[in-house]
């Protein structure tokens, strides 16, 4: 949640955050929906042992797509394990920040429609181990005065434009045809579903005056005439476009599949080969290996020296670890970069195998060869299919 309130209200799998509901997307929770906030609000300072994701090629690809070197690190989603006291309280404050969206709620008992900040609806989330029970409720509902207070659910209409802006639907202005209400500056509204099977048949009425209007008038061709211009709102950042927006917004229903499109980049990360493992062990035990007078003594050393027995657990094609190879191997700055050396067979230790295929250049400028292991490459796997993917909606 945004602001000072930080406590879990639900959960999502990492793949869900990457492909279905990333930054700027709406996530449907059991009792309301939330908008994933921008990366500026993601906090890792409460996680003691978090580490950035070290993938230089992926980072370069991200910088190339965004067109600026402003991205310094790749980070995992903030998360802290803890299901029992006292860790559970600390863990409940760490997660992907979200904000309730749409900010208009409807009482499920009396259909009253009001924004969250109007004070009409209350919020409860008092069970640390049951974030899925977090909910808004109508405390002074005229339809239900005893028992559990009725649930307030998200009003299901939002506005979006093709410049990637997402905004609440202007219910009060819409129902009053952009004129002031006789009952005051903040009129009380009601949203009622009239049913039927031909599109949406939802009517918004004003409790303080006779104004009423069907949501059908905000959709399709009529919507272009009846809706105001886009306000340029980036709801996931809490900002408005400084120069406004000239696009005409359209009504979307919360949960529509065309609200948000993922833009994904991927990098091929090749793990260390056994040659790299062997080189590490040779370096580790070099003090013992260097005392052997000749290569022929190595089987004896393995049989009699406990330190050298560890070399038996490394499967190699040469059977003879080569100290110079380990020393000359260029150290890489990443943990995923493979060691670019072919392990020579015994008797040809000083010759490297020639690569039979010509070198090619990967999109990130690194040289690839046909020799295994390959250099990891980076390639955009999908592109944004809609301009709105930039900031989510
Ligand atoms: Zn109510
Ligand atoms: Zn009114
Ligand atoms: Zn816009």
The pLDDT of residue 1 is above 80? no
Once rounded to an integer, what is the mean pLDDT over residues 94-100?
90
Cα dist from 325 to 61, 310, 337, 347, 367, whole Å: 32, 19, 17, 14, 22
| Residue 199, pLDDT score | 59
How many angstroms is it from 234 CA to the middle of ligand 3?
Answer: 9
C-alpha span between 320 and 296 (Å, rounded):
9
Global pTM value = 0.67
How many angstroms is it from 208 CA to the middle of ligand 2?
Answer: 5
Query: Which ligand gives the minimal distance to the CA of 121?
Result: 1
Residues whose Cβ atom is located within 5 A of ion ligand 2 = 181, 187, 206, 208-209, 211
| Residue 272, pLDDT score | 62
Query: Which ligand gives the minimal distance to the CA of 393?
Result: 3
Give the closest residue to 317 by CA, choosing from 273, 357, 285, 376. 273
Least trusted range by pLDDT, from 153-162, 299-308, 359-368: 359-368
Give the closest residue to 122 by CA, choosing from 104, 146, 149. 149
Question: Residue 149: exposed, middle, or buried by beta-carbon count in 10 A (0-12, 13-18, 19+)?
Answer: buried
Sequence-separated (6 or more) residues with CB below 8 Å from residue 143: 107, 109, 110, 150
Cis peptide before 302 (omega within 30 of 0): no
C-alpha span between 319 and 49 (Å, rounded):
39
Once rounded to an integer, what is the mean pLDDT over residues 5-19?
84
Query: Which ligand gives the minimal distance to the CA of 172?
Result: 2
The confidence band for 198, taking pLDDT boundaries of 50, 70 and 90, is: low
Query: Which ligand gives the minimal distance to the CA of 188?
Result: 2
Sequence spans of domains, the chain: 1-102+255-269, 274-313
Query: Which ligand gives the minimal distance to the CA of 106?
Result: 1
Retrieve residue 317's tokens.
């094609």
Give the closest residue to 95 by CA, choosing from 125, 60, 123. 125
How many angstroms is it from 138 CA to the middle of ligand 1?
Answer: 5
Q: What angle do CA 125, 17, 74 make, to 5 degrees?
A: 115
Give the closest residue to 111 by CA, choosing from 153, 55, 59, 58. 153
- pLDDT tens digits along 227-237: 989 999 999 99
How many angstroms is it from 107 CA to the middle of ligand 1?
Answer: 5
Query: Which ligand gives the minimal distance to the CA of 109?
Result: 1
Once rounded to an integer, what is the mean pLDDT over residues 317-329?
41
How many angstroms is it from 205 CA to the middle of ligand 2?
Answer: 8
Query: Which ligand gives the minimal distance to the CA of 174?
Result: 2
The pLDDT of residue 360 is above 50? no
Task: Report helix, strand or coil for 180.
Answer: coil
DSSP string, 255-277: T-TTS-----EEE--PPPPHHHH
How many angstroms is it from 45 CA to the middle of ligand 3?
Answer: 34
How many angstroms is it from 194 CA to the middle of ligand 1?
Answer: 18
Query: Which ligand gives the minimal distance to the CA of 210?
Result: 2
């Amino acid at each position: 949640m945004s602001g000072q309130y930080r406590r879990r209200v639900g959960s999502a799998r990492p793949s869900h955050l990457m492909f279905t509901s990333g930054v700027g997307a709406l996530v449907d929770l059991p009792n309301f929906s939330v908008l994933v906030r921008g990366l500026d609000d993601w906090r890792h300072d409460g996680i003691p042992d978090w580490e950035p994701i070290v993938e230089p090629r992926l980072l370069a690809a991200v910088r190339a797509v965004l067109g600026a070197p402003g991205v310094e690190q790749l980070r995992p989603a903030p998360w802290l394990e803890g299901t029992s006291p006292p860790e559970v309280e600390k863990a409940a404050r760490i997660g992907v920040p979200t904000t309730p969206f749409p900010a208009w709620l409807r009482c499920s008992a009396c259909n009253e429609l009001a924004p969250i900040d109007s004070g009409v609806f209350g919020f409860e989330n008092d069970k640390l181990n049951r974030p899925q029970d977090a909910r808004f409720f109508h405390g002074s509902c005229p339809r239900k005065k005893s028992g559990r207070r009725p649930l307030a659910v998200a009003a299901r209409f939002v506005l979006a434009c093709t410049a990637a802006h997402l905004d609440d639907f202007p219910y009060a202005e819409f129902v009053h045809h952009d004129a002031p209400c006789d009952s005051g500056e903040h009129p009380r509204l009601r949203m009622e579903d009239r049913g039927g099977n031909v599109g949406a048949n939802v009517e918004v009425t004003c409790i303080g005056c006779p104004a009423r209007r069907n949501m059908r008038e905000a959709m399709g061709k009529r919507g272009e005439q009846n809706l105001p211009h886009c306000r340029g709102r980036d709801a996931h950042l809490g900002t408005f476009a400084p120069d406004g927006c000239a696009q005409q917004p359209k009504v979307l229903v919360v949960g529509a599949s065309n609200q948000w499109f993922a833009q994904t980049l991927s990098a091929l990360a090749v793990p260390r080969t056994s040659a790299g493992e062997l080189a590490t062990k040779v370096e580790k035990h070099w003090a013992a290996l260097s005392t052997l007078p000749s290569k022929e003594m190595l089987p004896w050393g393995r049989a009699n020296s406990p330190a050298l027995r560890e070399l038996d657990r490394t499967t190699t094609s040469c059977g003879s670890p080569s100290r110079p190879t380990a020393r000359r191997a260029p150290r890489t700055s990443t943990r995923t970069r493979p060691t670019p050396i072919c392990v020579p067979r015994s008797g040809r230790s000083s010759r490297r195998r020639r690569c039979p295929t010509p070198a090619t250049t990967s999109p990130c400028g690194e040289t690839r060869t046909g020799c295994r292991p390959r250099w990891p490459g980076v390639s955009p796997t999908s592109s944004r299919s809609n301009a709105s993917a930039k900031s989510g909606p």
